[in-house]
Structure 1
């Protein structure tokens, strides 16, 4: 969309467009003595992109010493680039000595995060050899057929304006993800993070923190892996609609806005069982696209938090939560499941066995979730190490204040020592009472699990250059 503006008043025109695209609630009475503009639709209360509630056109009057030089009319459709020419009228009192400058309004809008509805692959996906193939029969939505959102630079949380039902609305996705892992303290950690005044919850989420979008719902599975209607990317955004509303309501005309929201789905890190439903993987024996690739297409600077627990202890707690009845029952289930996984790995790759929905359905435990290094390597193929804050459950339990300080620093959230001390003293959330009643794991079961997990723990310690992830003590 190209618009002609007199060069003498270019700085004022630029300012006007800046106001129009930046201000969710526009109140722009222009002072003629200061800016040289006539009132620009004063007291309009609407969102950017539908500049007036009564009309579909926006009119800008460029003034010279109080006399109208020209009238420039823009259809709201300019925001999607549908109108190629929007100049109307002849300046009644033209400036004879001025040079006309061409302004590309689409470029200005783009700088402020406005999206067109065109479909194309971003360069990052292409660098990974991933291209849009479109949604196929019985597959999930192809995220690579959409542009990555152009996030607004004045918001800390990743948000952008997108057209919805003829209006532009603020859309947001999480600033941070607690990726995992299950039964390692993710609920407790998420609860303490949300205690910060700048952190907003997600809407209609499990425990107020879990969307299950990336690991299950986008593939048409519910929390328990039962079939349901798939949740597309728009559905995922809806989980943060209330957060977006709060962010928009508290945004001002200038400045940097610090409210954020997050997703703490503890299966995102290590549940890749939906991979055959990713369009780029159809017909393949091994996946070429996994959750990290999908997230990399959406996010520019994600904050990933992992809290990892000794995998044997994690599995015992997980089993008791799911269906376990006793330590002896757990031993029987573990013995059987180790055999199933090891038999699979004799004929297939470790990844094929750990990412298989068919194998998982045969297991009584989720033993595969504790093979942390296999999943960590997938994430590090796509994201740099500094994109992750990796904690241990054992450290969080022993010194919650120190671990919370790491988290809040990583998320760039301010705090006082008095406040973080009070947050660290909050009661532990979602502690397993059933495991306490059933007593400790049998020693012979621990030996079995330590042996099974030993190579993955060693690999993880080597990968992170941190011996704490050997869980020797």
Structure 2
């Protein structure tokens, strides 16, 4: 498996077509710029025909309704990103890793917060949770669920509704093109999950040293150093409860979709 030069180009989802601003020599969301991030892997693959490459744009799976080379609502199209990718890259395989949507939301709150702002209080987080849930419910009060999913707002709340996106993908793609994992399971058993991914991608078995090198790689974009939830305040307890109640129906449908596997309930 060979890295490309940028793991999250968001070409298929967010990068609008036609390109609004061309930036020669820099990634601008155009097709030439996108294939350019695979130039170096292509050279290595020419020398090793069994090698593969890929990218990991974080919105690809959850933007199945909302984006297709830009916003679907703006383009007034009913095709999904799943349809588009099936036409463009029908040989692709997808490794989809789901995290407890509550802790994913909590982490995203810190990740997308401006670095110029001071550390948020627990009250600020609780207020954001209430605002986001209210915004989603307000959308549903006057629109269809599909419209609200296409609107993709509030984004970090919507991205945890995993069960809403699975049917759109499986309506187009064969189930065996997807390997679904939980972040929590990967952390508990990284070797076993890497082996599963290698097998899923049709690659050769890793040597012991290769596996050790992979497991030793440092995690990227972690937010855990920015907050400590080991001792929840009253505000955080309320926020977590609100989020758990919100996501519970989605988790239940996800569990049903995956053979009533209770792991996808995340314990609430």
Structure number with the bigger relative contact order (C-alpha 8 A, sep ≥ 6) is 2
Instruction: Rate the CA distance shift 1:334–1:220 in 2: closer, same or farther, 3 A.
Output: farther
Q: Which residue of 1 aligns with 2:45?
A: 247
Aligned residues: 252
Question: Aligned to 1:200, what secondary structure does the other structure show?
Answer: coil
Counterpart check, 1:353 vs 2:155: no
Q: Which residue of 2 aligns with 1:201?
A: 3
Instruction: Rate the CA distance shift 1:277–1:322 in 2: closer, same or farther, 3 A.
Output: closer
Cα deviation for residue 336 of structure 1 reads: 1.0
Cα deviation for residue 332 of structure 1 reads: 0.5
Cα deviation for residue 344 of structure 1 reads: 1.0
Instruction: Rate the CA distance shift 1:298–1:435 in 2: closer, same or farther, 3 A.
Output: same
Q: Which residue of 2 aligns with 1:113?
A: none
Q: Residue by residue, what CA displacement relative to the aligned partner does 1:96-125 show, whole Å, maximum 9, x if unpaired?
A: xxxxxxxxxxxxxxxxxxxxxxxxxxxxxx
What is the aligned counterpart of 1:380 among 170, 182, 186?
A: 170
Instruction: Rate the CA distance shift 1:276–1:416 in 2: closer, same or farther, 3 A.
Output: closer
Contact 1:293 1:382 in 2 (8 A): yes
Instruction: Rate the CA distance shift 1:408–1:447 in 2: closer, same or farther, 3 A.
Output: same
Contact 2:252 2:265 in 1 (8 A): yes
Counterpart check, 1:436 vs 2:227: yes
Contact 2:139 2:148 in 1 (8 A): yes
Q: Residue by residue, what CA displacement relative to the aligned partner does 1:34-84 show, whole Å, maximum 9, x if unpaired?
A: xxxxxxxxxxxxxxxxxxxxxxxxxxxxxxxxxxxxxxxxxxxxxxxxxxx
Work out the CA distance in 2 between the residues paired with 1:242 and 1:320. 33
Give the 5 Å matches for 1:214-233: 214-219=12-17, 228-229=21-22, 231-233=29-31
Calculate the TM-score normalised by the size of structure 2.
0.83
Cα deviation for residue 467 of structure 1 reads: 2.2
Contact 1:373 1:459 in 2 (8 A): yes
Contact 1:305 1:388 in 2 (8 A): yes
Cα deviation for residue 346 of structure 1 reads: 1.9
Work out the CA distance in 2 between the residues paired with 1:438 and 1:447. 14
Give the 5 Å matches for 1:167-206: 199-203=1-5, 205=6
* Structure 1: runs of 5+ lacking an equivalent: 1-198, 222-226, 252-256
Work out the CA distance in 1 between the residues paired with 2:256 and 2:146. 19
Q: Residue by residue, what CA displacement relative to the aligned partner does 1:305-334 show, whole Å, maximum 9, x if unpaired?
A: 001001000000000111172332111001
Give the 5 Å matches for 1:219-368: 219=17, 228-229=21-22, 231-248=29-46, 250=47, 257-271=49-63, 272-275=65-68, 284=76, 287-323=77-113, 325-356=120-151, 360=153, 363=154, 366-368=156-158
Question: Aligned to 1:346, what secondary structure does the other structure show?
Answer: helix
Counterpart check, 1:458 vs 2:249: no
Q: Which has the higher strand share?
A: 1
Alpha-carbon RMSD across the aligned residues, in angstroms, is 2.6
* Structure 2: runs of 5+ lacking an equivalent: 23-27, 114-118
